[in-house]
Amino acid sequence: MNPGNKAIVIGAGVAGLASAIRLAVQGMEVTVYEKNSYPGGKLSHFTIGDYQFDAGPSLFTQPQNIEELFALAGEPIADYFSYHKMPVSCHYFYEDGTMVKAYADRDLFDRELVEKLGEAPGALAAYLNRSERIYRDIGSVFLQYSLHKTATLFKAGILRALKATRWPYLFRTMHQLNSHYFRNAKTVQLFNRYATYNGSNPYQAPGMLSLIPHLEHNEGSFYAKGGMISITNALYQLALKKGVHFCFNTPVQRIIHTEGKVCGVVVNDENQLADTVVSNMDVYFTYRHLMNDDSRAQQVLQQERSSSALIFYWGMRKEFPQLDLHNIFFTLDYQAEFDHLFRSKKMYDDPTVYINITSKCEPGAQAPQGCENWFVMVNAPANIGQDWENYRALYRDVIIKKLSRLLQTDLEPLIEAEEVLDPVLIESRTASYMGSLYGTSSNSKMAAFLRHPNFTRAVKGLYFVGGSVHPGGGIPLCLLSAKIMSEIAATDRK
């Protein structure tokens, strides 16, 4: 077999699946090695009795990234996957009893903010229009092209993007910029939370991150039928259709490279040759464990790690009509919560709580009739050796008391199924160093430029995808990392 036509992908996370599909479409023979027994990485799934749970990401935006893969492969997406747009993106709950619905309809959302939070009519439209401009003129360029290839930068119109960049986008924090547009601290807090979409701190991260609300409020949020695991299942089936070969329960031991060129990988103490190797593993672990390159691994750690999460999966013997697919219960002091996450590296005693309930969209399919499947998450610091066993018990009690108070219902006796995920387990199951969900944070002005590129000049034929490299974490960006990588790899093979 000619190794020049073979590609090996390390890891079957969503970026690994997308990479395998794109390389197969380019005519390569692709093998994916995955240490777990299942595909998806963080985008996985499990059951407890009759309750269904998505283990990881719960928000679905930019379905066009998935549609593009099916179009590229010449397969009808409807045969694999279906979804619909949500009429409300999220329900927001505040300690004083205020509840705000973030409607997909901008006029309805604007009315909510005017009537419940006293915002000026039109303030929302002004903010979201600016968010769209930032994404269109700047964000789309930085997110869809390599920032480390001169040729692609000129193709991408980088000069136009730089010209569109304004002082506040880089030199004001996200919180400062949001405070400029809204008069009520509750509204500012609502839009500050979008920094958590890439594990960052809105009181440090640049105003450029205010492009994130565009994805949810201008383009929309969606529900994938069957839950988020249906995304993994669709991509996995598409990869199989394109001839990709999967080896599960098969960790890669080492990446083989010589004289500045990749040669393949070592699996089960045997050499598997290929001229193209793509790592969907955290870039830190790739260098440290697969290449024995501690120097480059340490360079990766010069950037601050993103936040992690503590997640409780609860099967609830009751339905809550005031809740929807996505729900946020805010802390009173958001800045104090982020100070704990990124400065003291400790859990905060009044955490913001997120609840995802897929049974709201598929009653009876995701949970028994009259019951709900709760994915309950609080932000957590990256793992530096904290006492997570103690935190798990402590925060279970804190969360139950907070939600019981705000929902005016004693939740403890309603929990009939339970599982827990903490940063240590996140690291062990998904090879995410320190349990960081998004690799590195975006808490600096130059964060976008400091992320590891999708290739390395030191080893020809070796590429990187996933949340720990450019353009960042989250499903849309992981899918874009596969696109960027495949375009670079195709050019390199010419």
Each residue of 83-129: pLDDT tens digit? Answer: 999 999 999 999 999 999 999 999 999 999 999 999 999 999 999 99
| Residue span of the structural domain in which 294 resides | 3-42+61-83+226-304+442-493
Q: What angle do CA 208, 302, 215 make, to 5 degrees?
A: 25
Q: Which range has the worst mean pLDDT, 149-158, 243-252, 443-452?
A: 149-158
Residue 132: inside a domain: no
Residue 193: inside a domain: no
Query: Is the pLDDT at 165 greater than 90, yes or no?
Result: no
Phi-psi region of 440 (alpha: psi -120 to 50; beta: other; left: phi over 0): beta
Our count of domains for the chain comes to 1
* Interval 449-458: pLDDT, tens: 678 999 999 9
* Interval 229-268: pLDDT, tens: 999 999 999 999 999 999 999 999 999 999 999 999 999 9
Q: Order of strands across the sheet with 254-258? A: 254-258, 261-267, 270-273
> Could you give the CA distance from residue 382 to residue 346 in angstroms, rounded to a whole number?
9
Q: What is the mean pLDDT of residues 282-291?
A: 96
* Interval 338-348: pLDDT, tens: 999 999 999 99
| Residue whose token pair is 């930032």 | 134
Q: What is the pLDDT of residue 284?
A: 95
Q: What is the pLDDT of residue 2?
A: 58
Q: What percent of the chain has pLDDT over 90?
A: 85
Q: What angle do CA 490, 233, 426 make, to 5 degrees?
A: 90
Look up residue 467 and give its two tokens. Answer: 């949340």
* Interval 70-93: pLDDT, tens: 999 999 999 999 999 999 999 999
Please name which of 24, 31, 25 lies closest in space to residue 10, comparing C-alpha atoms.
31
Residue 465: inside a domain: yes
Residue 371: inside a domain: no
Look up residue 104 and give its two tokens. Answer: 């997909």
Residue 363: inside a domain: no
Torsion of CA 417, 422, 428, 433, to 10 degrees: 150
Q: What is the mean pLDDT of residues 409-431?
A: 96
Mean pLDDT value across the chain: 93
Residue 75: inside a domain: yes
> Could you give the CA distance from residue 360 to residue 187 in angstroms, rounded to a whole number?
25
Q: How confident is the model at residue 1 (pLDDT cuts 50, 70, 90)?
A: very low
Q: How confident is the model at residue 330 (pLDDT cuts 50, 70, 90)?
A: very high
Helices 475-493 and 14-25 cross at an angle (nearest 10°) of: 30
Task: List 266's β-bridge partners, or say none.
Answer: 254, 271
Q: How confident is the model at residue 171 (pLDDT cuts 50, 70, 90)?
A: low
Q: What is the pLDDT of residue 161?
A: 55
Residue 272: inside a domain: yes
Query: Is the pLDDT at 160 greater than 90, yes or no?
Result: no
CB 483 within 8 A of CB 18: yes
Q: What is the mean pLDDT of residues 384-397?
A: 96
Residue 28: inside a domain: yes
Query: Is the pLDDT at 158 greater than 90, yes or no?
Result: no
CA distances 70 to 30, 238, 278, 280, Å, are 17, 8, 21, 20
* Interval 177-205: pLDDT, tens: 999 999 999 999 999 999 999 999 999 99
Q: Order of strands across the sheet with 276-279? A: 245-247, 29-33, 6-10, 276-279, 462-464
Q: Residue 256: which CATH number? A: 3.50.50.60
Please name which of 431, 459, 456 lies closest in space to residue 264, comparing C-alpha atoms.
459
Look up residue 370 and give its two tokens. Answer: 């009259």
Q: What is the pLDDT of residue 154?
A: 61
Q: What percent of the chain has pLDDT over 70?
A: 93
Q: What is the mean pLDDT of residues 462-475?
A: 94
Q: What is the pLDDT of residue 155?
A: 59
